[in-house]
Amino acid sequence: MDEANETKTVDASAAQPAVCSDATLAARACAGDEAAFEELFSRHRRRVALIAGRFFRRREQIEEIIQESFTKAYFALKDFVNAQEQSFAAWIARIAFNTCYDELRRAARRPENALSEPSDEEADWLRERAFVAGPEHDVEANAIARDLAEKLLSRLSPEDRLLLVMLEVEGMSVAEIAAITRWSPSKVKVRAHRARLALRRALKRLL
Amino acid sequence: MFNRNRANQEEALDRIGRALVRAAARAGEAEAERVAAEPYLFTRVRARIAERQRAGDESGLLFLALFRRTVPIMALATILALMLLWFGDGSVTGTAFSDEVLLGTNQSTAERLLFSERRAISNDEVLATILARDDRSGNNR
């Protein structure tokens, strides 16, 4: 009877996979364990996809960012395992943001990616709402806002766009942005100020 | 009054700017969720990793092949250069770096005559030439 119970317990523990930490999985993946890397991928793919979605709307662009981020992560695993300074989530987020930044810079160099000017309808829509202090979700809910936002943001430099998304959407602190971009905190502050000015100028031109 | 209006306007622009940035960032959320849920995403990542590894190996092999070819050629060229320097030593110092060449004492008589005539023109000579030309042009008129 006791033996039967013991066997059952052993079977149950064998059936339930042990939950490994990200650091352990990273160390195993670094040693060549592909299953460990797949597990890391499964845990963090959504976060990386959402970061890509902050900058790109097309499916193939988002997929490209995911693939490139995890490929870079795979080849840099040794650095992560040796450093052990931060969580894997923060580390992969940093890689994803940097990959997005590289892609934004590449896209800015391609003239075929230049978006069209905002239409009259969009400009009128903006004028109507610009000086009415309403809840922000009214603006966000509208499809016009999204197209217009995309056109306006395409006029900003990749650096400005990256900073504005990190500050306004991700709600990151200056220190966090400095850690991701490897810029000094004072440089982040100056760039953030310039990014806001650039956005204000782009809006002013429309109004 | 003017400053207050301006501040209000800038505040309004910042507010709408923030809203637009958030709208643009959230526009890709649904698509990102769909991509993240794709079943064969890891297979594609693995394929890309394998491709990069292969490319890395190939470039390493290419470098090795290039190294294997260039090193013997460079070594041969160095040996040849050393041999030339060693065996051709006497003939080079005999002509190229002699005192005659450096001091110009080996010039022929014609050359010596030619260069002996060469000297700098004095200011008086220049002035005299100008005055003579002016006189000639004045007489012609």
ipTM of the complex: 0.72
Q: Please give the residue range of the domain that contains residue A31.
A: 16-89
Residue A154: inside a domain = yes
Give the integer Cα–Cα distance in Å for A185 and B93: 66
Residue A4: inside a domain = no
Give the integer Cα–Cα distance in Å for B26 and A153: 13
Question: Under an 8 A CB cutoff, do B23 and A145 touch?
Answer: yes
With contacts defined as CB-CB under 8 Å, which chain A residues touch B42? 38, 41-42, 45
Specify the pLDDT at position A7: 46
Burial class (CB in 10 A: 0-12, 13-18, 19+), A199: buried
Report how many domains make up chain A.
2
Specify the pLDDT at position A45: 95
Residue A101: inside a domain = no
Q: Which of A104, A77, A95 is nearest to A161 (CA)?
A: A104
Q: Which of A124, A137, A152 to mutate to test the interface with B (most CBs of B within 10 A)?
A: A152
Among A80-89, A122-131, A196-205, B46-55, the minimum mean pLDDT is found in A122-131
Q: Which of B18, B35, B54 to mutate to test the interface with A (most CBs of A within 10 A)?
A: B35
* Same domain? A54 vs A135: no
Mean pLDDT of B28-33: 90
Two tokens at B110? 């014609």
* Same domain? A67 vs A146: no
**What is the helix (H) or strand (E) element at residue A58, kind and residue range?**
none
Two tokens at A48? 């990386």
Whether B39 has its CB under 8 Å from any CB of chain A: the answer is: no
Output the CA–CA distances (angstroms, integers) from residue B12 to A120, A206, B16, in the order listed.
20, 14, 6
Burial class (CB in 10 A: 0-12, 13-18, 19+), A50: buried
- Give pLDDT tens digits for B79-124: 999 988 888 765 545 455 555 555 555 555 666 555 555 666 777 8
Q: Are B27 and A57 in contact (CB under 8 A)?
A: yes
B residues 45..74 contacting A (CB < 8 A): 45-46, 48-49, 52
- Give pLDDT tens digits for A91-144: 999 999 999 999 999 988 876 555 556 666 666 666 666 555 454 555 545 666
Mean pLDDT of A136-159: 72
Mean pLDDT of B23-46: 90
